[in-house]
Amino acid sequence: MERVLVCFGTRPEAIKMAVLVKKMQEYNFVVSVCVTAQHREMLDQVLQLFDIKPDYDLNLMSPNQTLNTISSKIFSEMDKVLDDFKPDLVLVHGDTTTASICAWSAFNKQIKIGHVEAGLRTYNKYSPFPEELNRQIIGRIADFHFSPTITSKENLLKEGIHDSSIVVTGNTVIDSLFWTLENIDETKNKKIVELKDLIDFDKRIVLVTGHRRENFGDGIQNICQSLLKISNIDNTEIVFPVHLNPNIKEPVLDILSHKKNIKLIEPLDYESFIWLMKKAYLIITDSGGIQEEAPSLGKPVLVTRDTTERPEALQAGTVKLVGSNADKIFNEAAQLLQDSNKFDKMSNAHNPYGDGDACTKIVDFLIKK
């Protein structure tokens, strides 16, 4: 497997693949990076942080594009990339439209496929949508499956994937988290300097994020109503980097923009966000990656989703599902803010997603192939 094409298109994928790209370069793989730019601005921030220059930039992002539109664009462009680079292996990550269509494109040319973060499942094809079916599709066509946990490996075994093609690695996001923590320079990052002036870190910071489709509409409005109530708890400040998608941004600004101790800020670059996450007291989010990262920092996570493909975090006690029910979100957050024993139990739980050596395990496997 000398020639490896690494494909990604969103910020979360870039975060989770960046250290792997660097690790393969250290071991003298011939690595090319292809980005679809499914997310443009947020993707570019991560590429700059990790000093990765794409060899192929499809630049396919356009406003309000549908899943079918972006899929057709990726299909039409990938033939050119695959014919030009002629990879032995295409590596994709997780469950995005970019990952599924790039994998499918490689399959159509009978090129081997490696799936990083393989085997996550809810078995509800509409939750999360479209991610659940994306990851199942990739699971059917991939040749090598890099599973973050034993549970995700067991999911693949139940689906008939042969044991010899599955490697339990931990999650590469922990590798990226540790790399970033080691390389943060607070004095040079302008956004971190601004955050220090904006936020009252003498208070307990509740960090909030939201972006998933299933929370568009009533979901995000209910979440915002819960945040209004949480903001009334003494010694508490809410910080919400607001996603650019108008389905999130418009209701958030409408409901929360006039509350003194709720700080609505622009989306953060990855380095700034990791710094802020380390400063937070607890986190309310619908993000999959944060469910994996936060436990390594000792931060309890309330997940504003009805299902999660990361049951290991539930079992470990590092996260709790609260859905988009305003009362449930408030009650769980209030308990963590007012009950130190409950907080300590979640904060001190062991992170089930590894110790930051996932990329080394993936590279060791590929060297032998």
- 189, 294, 323, 325, 361 from 329: Cα distances, Å: 33, 18, 8, 6, 38
- The DSSP line for 24-93 is HHHTT-EEEEEE--SSSHHHHHHHHHTT---SEE-----TT--HHHHHHHHHHHHHHHHHHH--SEEEEE
Catalytically annotated residue among 213, 306, 357, 364? 213
- Provide the CA 97 distance to its chain's centre, in angstroms: 14
Q: Answer yes or no: 162 catalytic.
A: no
Phi, psi of 310 (to 5 degrees): -120, 65
Q: How far apart are CA 223 and CA 284, in angstroms?
A: 9
Q: Answer yes or no: 93 catalytic.
A: no
Q: Answer yes or no: 332 catalytic.
A: no
Tokens of 149: 């946990």
Residues in the chain: 369
Q: Answer yes or no: 95 catalytic.
A: yes
- Pairing mode of beta strands 319-321, 112-116: unpaired
H-state helical runs in 120-169 = 131-141, 150-158
Catalytically annotated residue among 13, 77, 95, 175? 95
- The DSSP line for 189-222 is -HHHHHHHHHS-TTSEEEEE----GGGTTHHHHH
Q: How far apart are CA 222 and CA 218, in angstroms?
A: 6
Catalytically annotated residue among 13, 39, 121, 131? 131
Q: How far apart are CA 154 and CA 134, in angstroms?
A: 18
Q: Answer yes or no: 250 catalytic.
A: no
Catalytically annotated residue among 11, 135, 204, 211? 211
Catalytically annotated residue among 3, 88, 243, 357? 243
Q: Yes or no: say if 24 and 364 are a contact pair by the CB < 8 Å rule.
A: no
At position 146, the amino acid (one-letter code) is F
Closest CA to 15 of 148, 172, 145: 172
Q: How far apart are CA 12 and CA 274, in angstroms?
A: 13
Q: How far apart are CA 39 and CA 363, in angstroms?
A: 27
Catalytically annotated residue among 13, 77, 117, 286? 117
Q: How far apart are CA 169 and CA 224, in angstroms?
A: 37
Q: Answer yes or no: 243 catalytic.
A: yes
Q: Which amino acids are annotated catalytic? A: 95, 117, 131, 211, 213, 243
